[in-house]
Amino acid sequence: MGFGCSVTVLLVFCLWGVLISVSDSTRLGSSRQKLEVNKHLNRLNKAPIKTIESPDGDIIDCVPISKQPAFDHPFLKDHKIQMRPNFHPEGLFEENKFDENKAKSSTPINQLWHANGMCSEGTIPIRRTKEEDVLRASSVKRYGRKKHRSIPKPRSADPDLVNQSGHQHAIAYVEGEKFYGAKATINVWEPKIQQTNEFSLSQLWVLGGSFGQDLNSIEAGWQVSPDLYGDNNTRLFTYWTSDAYQATGCYNLLCSGFIQVSSNIAMGASISPISSYRDSQYDISILIWKDPKEGHWWMQFGNDGTVMGYWPSFLFSYLAESATMIEWGGEVVNSEPDGQHTSTQMGSGHFPEEGFGKASYFRNIQVVDSSNNLKAPKDLGTYTEYHNCYDVQTGSNGDWGHFFYYGGPGKNPNCQ
């Protein structure tokens, strides 16, 4: 009896020791993670001279332009900020040809935070990163980065291989010559996302190099990404990488690289207003081009031509010279297992054949040539992995130049 009792006591003590050990280990892991997250937040969130609370819950910090995250990069320590490009591309599509009764392209696209204030000249607005934002990521290191290769490879892509990555597209593209920029006007929607680890975006890609481990990409557009932002708002975004999303680059200003000069627009902040089905249509213009003098890649946003800033040319290998492919269109993540399909929408969530007021569009598509001239693209190709889920249809006319409708609902009777 006494022996049995001592064995029982021993077991209790052992179990208690194990529980204490596990508890200590959990606390240790938790405290280490918290320390790591806080260090990362301190790196990202620069001391503001003014703070603006947005109606959607965002906090916008007005940070001195010289204190922005870009200058954490070792190669930018002594960089002299270029406040404006040396040259703008010539030959912008004549927007005044567009019928404003059809789409409110002249209506200023605002960001929600503008309702409560603006940043002053000499500062830039930065969406503050919160602890919960970082904790939603798979790791602190991966926060603000795309999880998979998300560049479609037209013509030669293997649908089975593409499906494994979970990324699906409906795009138009050009290739086969040297490109020095791209432009498009994109109407803005708020697609429904099925699961928080999925996203839906509409963007243009400026690409250099092969589709291997050394791919260079500059990207800009709008996206809905609950995982990245914690809500379902439509937000302006940019992205860049010089090694196919492995170790370089990030969304917006979540790493050093992009140098912002605009005090009016915040990367990653919500866009307003957005288009409605069978109702008002609102669109944004995005232009990315390579300055012939300095070689930096500049971005211009909005119908008023706000110059946002630039990606220094040293960030890239292939794009240090020129781009070899331009893509425009939509992308979603399908995280459904076993060949099933998500109901995450692309664009408006409607197929291109529904046309204006119902389907999403890109219009006034142009590329920048070696003479810094904007021109209509030649041989515009299209690509989609599963046209019964998301599709694309191109066209051309005097008002819209080269354009296409794209998108779809995802899961439907023909897309399981």
In degrees, to the nearest 5, what angle opens at C-alpha 329 toward C-alphas 190 and 300? 85
Asked if 232 and 190 touch (Cβ cutoff 8 Å), the reply is yes
Residue-level pLDDT at 78: 86
Taking all residues of the chain, what is their mean pLDDT, rounded to a whole number? 87
CA–CA dist 299, 253 (Å, integer)? 14
CA–CA dist 372, 378 (Å, integer)? 16
3 state DSSP class of 155: coil
Residue-level pLDDT at 128: 97
Torsion of CA 351, 354, 358, 363, to 10 degrees: 80
Q: Mean pLDDT across the stretch 252-265?
A: 96
Q: Is 80 exceeded by the pLDDT of residue 44?
A: yes
**Residue linked to tokens 């052992």:** 14
**Residue linked to tokens 């590329």:** 367
Each domain of the chain, given as residue ranges in start order, spans 45-407
Question: pLDDT digits over 338-352, tens only?
Answer: 889 999 999 999 999
Residue-level pLDDT at 77: 86
Share of the chain above pLDDT 90, in %: 73
Q: Mean pLDDT across the stretch 262-269?
A: 97
Catalytic residues: 219, 331
Asked if 385 and 406 touch (Cβ cutoff 8 Å), the reply is no
Cα dist. 128→69, 83, 109, 392 in Å?
12, 23, 21, 36
Q: Mean pLDDT across the stretch 194-220?
A: 93
Residue-level pLDDT at 97: 42
Residue-level pLDDT at 82: 94
Question: pLDDT digits over 47-105, tens only?
Answer: 999 999 999 999 999 999 999 999 999 888 889 999 999 999 988 654 434 444 455 54
Q: Is 166 exposed, middle or buried (0-12, 13-18, 19+ CB in 10 A)?
A: middle
Q: Is 90 exceeded by the pLDDT of residue 281?
A: yes
Question: pLDDT digits over 124-163, tens only?
Answer: 999 999 999 999 998 898 899 987 655 666 654 444 334 4
Strand partners, 380: none
Residue-level pLDDT at 92: 65
Asked if 74 and 257 touch (Cβ cutoff 8 Å), the reply is no
Confidence (pTM): 0.88
Residue-level pLDDT at 146: 85
Cα dist. 331→45, 97, 307, 390, 416 in Å?
29, 30, 25, 9, 18
Cα dist. 14→17, 20, 64, 126 in Å?
5, 10, 57, 52
Confidence of residue 120 (pLDDT cuts 50, 70, 90): very high
